[in-house]
Amino acid sequence: MGYKFVMVGGGSTQSPGILEVLRQRAEELNLSELVLYDNDSERVRLLGQYTEMYYRETGSKVQVSYTTDIDAAFTGADFLFMQIRPGLNKQRAIDEKICIQNGVIGQETCGLGGFSFALRVIPAVLDIIRKVKELCPNAWILNYTNPEAILSEAIYREFPEARVLCICDMPISIEGAIASYFNKELRDLTLSYFGLNHFGWWTHIYDENGQDLLPQLREDVVSGKIDTLLQSNEETKEDQYWINTYRQMVSLFKRFPDYFPNCYLQYYLTCDEAMKHDSVDFTRGDYVMQGREKRIYEECRRVIQAGTAKDSSLHAGVHGNYIVDIAYAIIHNTRERFTVNKKNHGAISNFDPEAVVEVPAYVGSMGAETINIGAIPTFQKGLMEMQKAYEKLTVDAALTGSYQTALEAVMLNKTIPNYTVGKKVLDELYEANRAYWPELR
């Protein structure tokens, strides 16, 4: 008997890339059954029927199905790949607009867009994990759900013993860009990274001879030789948002050249510059709805209508390969190195041991064993302390329903300039998210 994999949020626009990698690598994963589970019956039907047809017609032996029945989906599962979005991109765009109108960053993981998303997602994800404990307690959950930084804090706090690994494809995507800049294969590089999710820095980029390439990268950036990095990611290469983001990341490195920054730091350290690209009439959420969402579901409809997927194909990219690589490492106990989010437990020696951090780890059948980073400098530590306090209070607010705690969390977010703005945005977001947030009192 092979393994049963479940896509939680299987109707998501992020599923196709993962579905393609699972199809290509089914044999090495010993994958025999794949279930797309979602609470959105229409989306899961579209992607489910598409995938059934596509797998069958390409000769896959994997048994594919889709369902909205969580019990049927989870029973007997070995791996759950989770990416859910309560309120869909529609709610994301509403949050973005409220923030932008009030002059602050609306990004869905940083700023108060992230705060709002966290309040929608935490209760939903904790419910799902309770179901996993009940129905398939030995299964591994690999979580891509955002805002990963805050959500992972909630997950590991509530379920310290659960088999969950919280991951993000941003570090590996940026590492791919760094590798191609140096004409190297990423697998030949060893990179050292520390921080929080969407809030971290690279300290070393060792090549196959043990030489650190970071000083070279710094010199090339500081001297003005390069002002961006070429993306390794096929899906985002042509997307103006990501083109701007990669340029902004390099520009940030030029001004803070100690360590190479994760691109998401732009929303905190240069939020005025990041906001220049924001438009209240057409936010990132709007862009995703008009683009990726439309494209994917229309293609599903076309294929279902035609009754064949023979002239259709899915694309395997970084995002799909990363999560499957991690599942592979667990199944085959490879103890390969990945960047993951886990409780610090001393990996960063001068940071809260109970806080979730994003660091490299060896992944094998026992899960992830984080790699020792040592002490971090005051600047990065200071930023992380404040961000971590914000994340923790956001989790507290989601779990207790305390308005005062929510307000305190908001005030700790670096994108919020003062009480007046913080409280106004919080109240407007609450009003717009009544159907999703816990009640705040």
Give the active site residues: 169, 264
Per the annotation, does 163 bind a ligand?
A: no
DSSP letter assigned to residue 109: S
Q: Give the tokens for residue 62.
A: 């994997």
Total site size for Mn ion, rule CB under 5 A: 2
Specify the residue, 170 or 327, whose C-beta has the smaller distance to Mn ion: 170
The verdict on whether residue 271 carries a ligand-binding annotation is no
Which of ligand G6P, Mn ion, none does residue 102 bind (CB under 5 to 8 Å by kind)? none
What residues contact 53, with CB distance under 8 A and at least 6 apart? Answer: 303, 304, 307, 308, 309
- Closer by beta carbon to ligand G6P, 49 or else 109: 109
- 92 carries a ligand binding annotation: yes
Helix intervals (H) in 64-207: 70-74, 88-101, 111-135, 148-158, 170-181
Residues 6+ apart with CB under 8 A from 289: 89, 90, 93
**What is the nearest approach in angstroms of ligand G6P to the Cβ of residue 13?**
8
Site string for Mn ion, 135-174 (x = CB under 5 A): ---------------------------------x-x----
168 or 288: whose CB is closer to Mn ion? 168
Q: Which of 347, 365, 346, 343 is nearest to 356 (CA)?
A: 343
Pick between residue 174 and residue 213 the one whose CB is nearest to ligand G6P: 174
**283 interface partner picked from Mn ion, ligand G6P, none, CB below 5 to 8 A per type:** none
Least spacing, CB of residue 388 vs Mn ion, in Å: 17
* CB of 38 or CB of 148, closer to Mn ion: 148
Q: Tell me if 110 is assigned to a ligand binding site.
A: no
Q: Is the distance from CB of 105 to CB of 113 less than 8 angstroms?
A: yes
Shortest separation between residue 109's beta carbon and ligand G6P, angstroms: 6
Question: Does residue 7 interact with Mn ion by CB under 5 A?
Answer: no
Nearer to Mn ion, 168 or 398 (CB): 168
198 is in an annotated binding site: yes
Q: What angle do CA 21, 27, 29 make, to 5 degrees?
A: 70
Report the C-alpha gap between 30 and 79 in whole angstroms: 12
Contacts of Mn ion in 170-199 (CB under 5 A): 170
Residue 59 CA to residue 38 CA, distance in Å, equals: 25
DSSP-derived letter for residue 268 is H
What are the residues whose beta carbons fall under 8 Å from the beta carbon of 29, sequence distance 6 or more? Answer: 3, 5, 22, 324, 327, 328, 331
263 binds, among ligand G6P, Mn ion, none (CB under 5 to 8 A by kind): none
Give 205's strand partners: 191
Query: What distance in Å separates the CA atoms of residue 387 and residue 414, rounded to the nearest whole number?
Result: 8
Residue 334 beta carbon to ligand G6P: minimum distance, rounded to whole angstroms: 23
- CB-based closest residue to Mn ion: 168
* CB closest to ligand G6P, residue no: 170
Pairing of strands 140-143, 260-261: unpaired
In the complex, the residues that contact ligand G6P under the rule CB under 6 A are 109, 146, 168-170, 284, 288
Name the pairing type of β-strands 367-370 and 356-364: antiparallel
Q: How far is the CB of 379 from ligand G6P (least distance, A)?
A: 24
Binds 191: which of ligand G6P, Mn ion, none (CB < 5-8 Å by kind): none
284 binds, among ligand G6P, Mn ion, none (CB under 5 to 8 A by kind): ligand G6P
Residue 288 interface partner, choices ligand G6P, Mn ion, none, CB cut-off 5-8 Å depending on type? ligand G6P
Give the span between the Cα atoms of 120 and 111, in whole angstroms. 15
> Would you say 5 and 78 are in contact if contact means Cβ atoms under 8 Å apart?
yes
* Contacting residues for 282 by C-beta, under 8 A, at least 6 apart: none
Nearer CB in complex with Mn ion: 170/324: 170
Distance between CA atoms of residues 387 and 390, nearest Å: 5
Residue 19 binds which of ligand G6P, Mn ion, none (CB < 5-8 A, kind-dependent): none
Instruction: Please report, in range form, the residues annotated as the binding site for substrate.
Output: 92, 146, 284
* Residues forming the site for Mn ion (CB under 5 A): 168, 170
Residues in the annotated binding site for Mn(2+): 168, 198
Binding residue ranges: 92, 146, 168, 198, 284
